Chains A and B, each alone.
Chain A
């Protein structure tokens, strides 16, 4: 009897927490389809606010920039992060300093990395723009790719590497023909994760973008827009951005069951 009551209490807690987590974003998604655009009254289903997004050249330009940054930082960080993961696991006995350096980009507060990179770039006299955002995003992205790939390598049977070497394959051949195919799902999952993180990243991009409109990314555009309040257009844009992250995450999860950091 007591156990049944406990179970009911647990269900109630779950209900309340999930409501807290999901009501705000659901309201946002719902409103983005509201014809009238106002939260005060439902005037009918419409996708016209999504159409308005396609007419907004600022948003389109920002979306293009975001795609550029995300694609290049994903490619770079996937290569660097995967190689790092294989190296680290191959070496096995790693000092504490190495683990700290690899782990640091994931826990270092964005604002600290952002101002550090801003100071660094301006001290070097580098012109800032999309390229500096790409280079900066690789810093944290490679750590996440490395974590996902390492998780996969824990169950890796290293004897097949030895077999490959014994059979006369060079290190490079072994890497490409033996290790890479086994790691492919994890590498793709890591790449998708890096892509989402890069698309969503705001603070570091904001600090390393330099002046001017030409290198504004989508999160920077969203930040500028929401400071002025609520509009139906932002609701639609927010829904699109959220949809992209959720799809990429679901794909990543499917590719690499249980391999996400923290899970």
Chain B
């Protein structure tokens, strides 16, 4: 192909769009984090580090840590369940696998709010789970199910599980079955083969799934607001409040900036894990 300008002409409308409506606004957020909040909720254009410092104020840092804890728990549970599901799908006959995978991922493409709402239907005071328990003869006070931390974790796991199934299935389906066979022929038990061969070779899939669930969870404000109840706050809700109710945009921008840095760090870590694993695979192949 000659070194012509045609590709650039084709690409330019979309690239301009992304530049003007993604790159510039995101840079704006970075800049905003270093401005002072005006007296009446406006922005004063003098440089300051106060907003960044405020993020690490114990009051807000506690929320940060709690969000990270909830996101980590959700990502951990989703990784275990997702890996198990992907492993099970990969062990089914080849011709059934695409269909199983399609149905595992299908819920992921339906509306996020609707999927979260489904759990309100199940968990609320008059919900299905309470009714089922009564029907089975459970008497007395039912523990509160909805508007709890557990409900938030369940909601996050439910919403993002299909993503982990996808990311774990990819390396599992590419796995050469002869390696596991060789391991068993050499006398290793099924469990040992799994632990020493299959698992290490498919770790990148788990890492990708874990990081994405964590990243999507820690900045989430919809699930905490709907399943955690009005008082429940995660970082996403805090950012939301700064922009839509408290009107402290510079602080909101600072919060998001720290959030973005955490996410970027994790994504880089995940890239490293993937790289290492593919390096290791080459060694086995060679």
Q: Which residues of A contact B (CB under 8 A)?
A: 2, 6-7, 10-11, 13-14, 17-18, 20-22, 24-25, 27-28, 31, 38-40, 79-81, 83-84, 86-88, 90-92, 101-102, 104-105, 107-109, 111-113, 115-120, 123, 135-136, 138-139, 142-143, 146, 158, 171, 196, 200, 202-203, 207, 219, 222-223, 226-227, 229-230, 234-235, 238, 241-242, 245-246, 249, 253, 258, 262-263
Kindly identify, within residues 239 to 279 of chain B, every residue whose CB is under 8 Å from any CB belonging to chain A: 239-240, 243-244, 249, 252-253, 256, 259-260, 263, 267
* Given A80-B17, A84-B11, A139-B22, A119 and B162 contact (CB-CB distance below 8 Å): no
CB nearest neighbor in B for A226? B117
> B91 near A: Cβ within 8 Å?
yes
Please give, as numbers and ranges, the residues of chain B lying within 8 Å of A91 by CB-CB distance: 7-8, 11
Please give, as numbers and ranges, the residues of chain B lying within 8 Å of A17 by CB-CB distance: 81, 84-85, 88, 104, 161, 165
Please give, as numbers and ranges, the residues of chain B lying within 8 Å of A242 by CB-CB distance: 110-111, 114
Residue in A83, A90, A245 whose CB lies within 8 Å of B111? A245
> B53 near A: Cβ within 8 Å?
no
Kindly identify, within residues 138 to 196 of chain B, every residue whose CB is under 8 Å from any CB belonging to chain A: 158, 161-162, 165-166, 190
Complex CA–CA separation, A13 to B236 (angstroms): 33
Say whether A120 contacts B28, CB under 8 Å.
yes
Q: How many residues of B contact A (CB 8 A)?
A: 87
Please give, as numbers and ranges, the residues of chain B lying within 8 Å of A226 by CB-CB distance: 113, 116-117, 120, 226
Say whether B25 contacts A119, CB under 8 Å.
yes
Given A80-B13, A84-B13: 7 more A-B contacts, CB < 8 Å: A17-B165, A25-B110, A28-B121, A31-B121, A143-B18, A226-B226, A246-B109
Least CB distance from B50 to A in Å reads: 18
Least CB distance from A67 to B in Å reads: 15
Say whether B243 contacts A207, CB under 8 Å.
yes
Least CB distance from B105 to A in Å reads: 7
Say whether A90 contacts B1, CB under 8 Å.
yes
> B100 near A: Cβ within 8 Å?
yes
> B76 near A: Cβ within 8 Å?
no
Complex CA–CA separation, A258 to B102 (angstroms): 10
Q: Which 8 A-B pairs have the closest CB atoms?
A: A87-B10, A87-B11, A116-B25, A84-B14, A24-B118, A91-B7, A120-B25, A80-B14
Least CB distance from B7 to A in Å reads: 4
Say whether B21 contacts A117, CB under 8 Å.
yes
Least CB distance from A25 to B in Å reads: 5
Least CB distance from B46 to A in Å reads: 17
Complex CA–CA separation, A14 to B97 (angstroms): 12
Please give, as numbers and ranges, the residues of chain B lying within 8 Å of A7 by CB-CB distance: 91
Say whether A21 contacts B263, CB under 8 Å.
no
Please give, as numbers and ranges, the residues of chain A lying within 8 Å of B200 by CB-CB distance: none
B 26-56 to A, binary, CB cutoff 8 A, 1 in contact else 0? 1011001000000000000000000000000
Complex CA–CA separation, A105 to B25 (angstroms): 13
> B6 near A: Cβ within 8 Å?
yes
B 100-135 to A, binary, CB cutoff 8 A, 1 in contact else 0? 111111110111111111111110101110010000
* Given A87-B9, A109-B219, A202-B222, A235 and B18 contact (CB-CB distance below 8 Å): no
Residue in A22, A87, A135 whose CB lies within 8 Å of B7? A87
Most buried by A among B7, B104, B124, B166: B7
Say whether B118 contacts A27, CB under 8 Å.
yes
> B92 near A: Cβ within 8 Å?
yes
Please give, as numbers and ranges, the residues of chain A lying within 8 Å of B102 by CB-CB distance: 253
Say whether B158 contacts A119, CB under 8 Å.
no
Residue in A14, A40, A241 whose CB lies within 8 Å of B88? A14
Complex CA–CA separation, A229 to B280 (angstroms): 51
Complex CA–CA separation, A200 to B23 (angstroms): 24
Say whether B114 contacts A238, CB under 8 Å.
yes
Complex CA–CA separation, A165 to B283 (angstroms): 46
Please give, as numbers and ranges, the residues of chain A lying within 8 Å of B65 by CB-CB distance: none
Complex CA–CA separation, A81 to B17 (angstroms): 10
Say whether B118 contacts A223, CB under 8 Å.
no
* Given A109-B216, A112-B256, A119-B249, A2 and B111 contact (CB-CB distance below 8 Å): no
Say whether A18 contacts B103, CB under 8 Å.
yes
Say whether B18 contacts A39, CB under 8 Å.
no
> B203 near A: Cβ within 8 Å?
no
Complex CA–CA separation, A80 to B12 (angstroms): 9
Say whether A28 contacts B14, CB under 8 Å.
no
Say whether B162 contacts A21, CB under 8 Å.
yes
> B206 near A: Cβ within 8 Å?
no
Complex CA–CA separation, A214 to B115 (angstroms): 26
Say whether B23 contacts A101, CB under 8 Å.
yes
Least CB distance from B190 to A in Å reads: 7
Say whether A115 contacts B256, CB under 8 Å.
yes
CB nearest neighbor in B for A223? B113
Complex CA–CA separation, A10 to B100 (angstroms): 13
Residue in B15, B105, B114, B131 whose CB lies within 8 Å of A263? B105
Say whether A28 contacts B114, CB under 8 Å.
yes
Least CB distance from A177 to B in Å reads: 16
Least CB distance from A156 to B in Å reads: 13
Complex CA–CA separation, A25 to B113 (angstroms): 12
